[in-house]
Structure 1
């Protein structure tokens, strides 16, 4: 791939990502977080592919930086998703007083 094609893909990806995220209602952000993590995983794979095809030092440096940032993004997304799912777990109920304790009193 030549540099112009990579820049074009990057600009289109930024524009598309902004449009998609800005159109999502705030009530849907929590359910869509796991799908966003899958998209971030695809971005990570794309960054790895670009790093593997880098021909000069600048392209290699930028692609390795992209791999690092995409990895941080994927891991952070899964951590946030896990914390959100913990909010929806049923809280354990306090043990009800037993009938034997009422009889003894």
Structure 2
């Protein structure tokens, strides 16, 4: 715990930027109309794809004995893939609602 507080004190500007990014992100997402959810989901899928590629690259360049980096990279890959699959499922379901019924 002492190390965490020391890290935050040494990187106070980064901490402020992260907090500001969280607040701005929440406010932007709350004000999005429902019509734009499908295009935004596609954008979120693209961002998750970038996260997956980045996590794979980090895992490739990490030391094979560094289990923390490998574990975090694996977790990032799994969560990114789940986000992409879920995003495509939601997008597909929303697009099915706009098709004409027979």
Q: Under TM normalisation by the shorter chain, which class is it?
A: 0.5 to 0.7
**Regions of 4+ moved over 4 Å:** 11-18
SS of residue paired to 1:29: helix
Counterpart among 39, 42, 57 of residue 67 in structure 2: 57
Q: 1:35 to 1:84 in 2, by over 3 A?
A: same
Unmatched segments (≥5 aa) in structure 1: 1-7, 93-105
How many residues were matched structurally? 84
The structure richer in helix per residue is 2
Which has the greater radius of gyration?
A: 1
TM-score normalised over the length of structure 2? 0.66
Residues 38-62 of structure 1 deviation map (CA, whole Å, 9 limit, x = unaligned): 1111111111111111221111111
The 5-angstrom pairing of residues 18-97 of structure 1 reads: 19-20=24-25, 22-24=27-29, 25-27=32-34, 28-55=36-63, 56-92=66-102
